[in-house]
Amino acid sequence: MKFIGMLILILLAVIAVLLLIALVRTLLMPSKVSGYKAPAETRRAREYAKTLSRMVQCDTTSYDSVRDPQRFEAFHKLLEQLFPLVHMQLEKTDIDGNLLYYWRGVDHDKPIVLMSHQDVVPAEGEWLHKPFSGDIADGKVWGRGTSDTKCSVFGFFQAVEELLAEGVIPPQDIYLSSSCTEEWAGDGCPKIVAELTRRGVKPYLVCDEGGGIITEPVGGVPGNFAMVGVFEKGKAGVRFTAKSTGGHASAPKKGSPIARLAAFVNSVEKHDPFARKMSPEVRSMFEQLAPYASFPLKLVFGNLWLFGPLLAIAMPAISSQGAAMLKTTIAFTMQSGSDAYNVMPQEATLGANMRFIPHQGKDESLAIIRKRAEQYGLTTEVFHAVDVSKATDIHGEAFQFVTDRIKETFPGLPVSPYVMTGATDARFYQDICDNIVRFAPVIYGPEQLAGMHGLNENIEYNCLPGCVDFYKNMILKSGK
């Protein structure tokens, strides 16, 4: 007993020393404040708002598995009107409505692709401003696509238009890429990549949407931060099916299809089958955010050597977005059963969306959920499965180049790597490009994030000059 007591005392002493070290490290860490805000409204910003408004007024809604390139012809004609120099001086290729522009540079060894998609998701429900009105009000441009992502499409077209007017020849080849099938993971971007492959082009850097200037990226970390996505999670649609012999609802049998599906959902919700792990990119993100956090989070984020395992457990209570960066997720989204209240279903189905993390990729994650489903007598079907994308080196030259351009364009804006929990067209470039970042140079506050794929989508137009200037700096400093 004395020996056990001594071990406990030693353990407590070690814990106390470790906590003291962490506390001292935190107290010695300089506290920082992210003070970056978009400049006040200017004439330039108002003019940019008018251009973006016209782009938003052109309905470019795309629908899952519906290929309708003619739908985008009006938008392409509008681009010609808004950006005449781009269309006179750059080489344009239209591949079934997907656009690729080539601007020849002085050198050709480090070509850059600036990209974002034309298409938008359907607009449903009651909006404060009609979804394709492009209204300019309250310092914002309103409408579907303002933030996802006609703002960045506008940004790089406007940047090139202004540089052409100045007679600029870029140091490196520049490509502008914009698909019309991104919102349903269609074949638009793959067609563009195939064209670049045919030409023998291997981009040095691809910059797509995904990250952005995010307001309070994690609860307790106030201010604006440039969150640069360096890889994106994989994804799949999954359908679980439970079968029985059916029957009349007046004499129900236990273990009905819906009951088994419900038990399965409850099991997954209460006993998460997926492992949480902090990747180097996520670890770096928390370490970059630590000096800007409130003291409790600063203590944790700044001492991941000690609190990393605790943070992995506590993160869901802090931020659902942060939690999604640590593990494979599954969201149950669809369900069907009998067509009548008094009929037991012979078959009931449950749909889910899965997002895979590197340490448990597509195959392992699907095997885990399939095994859990089998415990409830369910069969599993997988649709449109895509594995995790390759990560861009956060210590590499290309990531530093993007970081430098952000700091140059947005003085005082902190930069952090970020894991994209959604999906973008950028992943299609990974076979021909090693350096892919996901960063739209506009400010996404809580209102803008809520509007993406939701109601009342908008963007504050005073951030549009910064958007244009970022792309200008990317072009002018290309090759460095």
Q: What is the pTM of this model?
A: 0.92
- Counting Cα atoms < 13 Å in the Cβ hemisphere of 232 gives 24
pLDDT exceeds cutoff 90 at 344: no
For 164-208, how does the pLDDT look when each residue is reduced to its tens digit (9 = 90+)?
Answer: 999 999 999 999 999 999 998 899 999 999 999 999 999 999 999
Domain positions in the chain are: 43-232+390-476, 234-386
For 110-130, how does the pLDDT look when each residue is reduced to its tens digit (9 = 90+)?
Answer: 999 999 999 999 999 999 999
Are 389 and 455 in contact by the 8 Å Cβ rule? The answer is: no
For 359-372, how does the pLDDT look when each residue is reduced to its tens digit (9 = 90+)?
Answer: 999 999 999 999 99
Can you say whether residue 409 is alpha, beta or left, with left for phi > 0 and alpha for psi between -120 and 50 degrees? alpha
- What per-residue confidence (pLDDT) applies to 231? 94
Q: Rounded mean pLDDT of the chain?
A: 93
pLDDT exceeds cutoff 70 at 224: yes
For 228-249, how does the pLDDT look when each residue is reduced to its tens digit (9 = 90+)?
Answer: 999 999 999 999 999 988 776 7
- What per-residue confidence (pLDDT) applies to 322? 83
**CATH fold for the domain made of 43-232+390-476:** Aminopeptidase (3.40.630)
For 26-66, how does the pLDDT look when each residue is reduced to its tens digit (9 = 90+)?
Answer: 998 999 999 899 999 899 999 999 999 999 999 999 998 88
- Counting Cα atoms < 13 Å in the Cβ hemisphere of 410 gives 30
Query: Residue 231 corresponds to which tokens in the numbers above?
Result: 């890889």
Which of 128, 123, 113 is closest to 60 using CA atoms? 123
Can you say whether residue 134 is alpha, beta or left, with left for phi > 0 and alpha for psi between -120 and 50 degrees? left
For 83-103, how does the pLDDT look when each residue is reduced to its tens digit (9 = 90+)?
Answer: 999 999 999 999 999 999 999
Could you check whether 43-232+390-476 and 234-386 share the same CATH topology?
A: no
pLDDT exceeds cutoff 80 at 14: no
3-class secondary structure, 209: strand
CATH class of 234-386: alpha beta
For 278-309, how does the pLDDT look when each residue is reduced to its tens digit (9 = 90+)?
Answer: 999 999 999 999 999 999 999 999 999 999 99
- Counting Cα atoms < 13 Å in the Cβ hemisphere of 226 gives 28
Query: Residue 148 corresponds to which tokens in the numbers above?
Result: 């996802």
Which of 120, 26, 36 is closest to 408 using CA atoms? 36
- What per-residue confidence (pLDDT) applies to 458? 97
Measured CA to CA in angstroms, residue 209 lies from 313, 336, 358 at distances of 30, 35, 21
For 369-428, how does the pLDDT look when each residue is reduced to its tens digit (9 = 90+)?
Answer: 999 999 999 999 999 899 999 999 999 999 999 999 999 999 999 999 999 888 899 999
pLDDT exceeds cutoff 80 at 2: no
- What per-residue confidence (pLDDT) applies to 3? 67
Question: DSSP 3-state helix, strand, coil percentages of the chain (rounded to 5)?
Answer: 40, 25, 35
- What per-residue confidence (pLDDT) applies to 318? 77
Distance in angstroms (rounded) separating the CA atoms of residues 303 and 301: 6
Residue 5: pLDDT band with limits 50, 70, 90: low
Measured CA to CA in angstroms, residue 153 lies from 74, 173, 475 at distances of 16, 18, 15
Residue 315: pLDDT band with limits 50, 70, 90: confident
- What per-residue confidence (pLDDT) applies to 65? 80
Query: Residue 131 corresponds to which tokens in the numbers above?
Result: 């979804």
Helices (H) and strands (E) in the chain, counts: 15, 17
- Counting Cα atoms < 13 Å in the Cβ hemisphere of 478 gives 31
- What per-residue confidence (pLDDT) applies to 1? 62
Residue 347: pLDDT band with limits 50, 70, 90: very high
Q: Which residue has the tokens 């970390």?
A: 221
- What per-residue confidence (pLDDT) applies to 372? 98
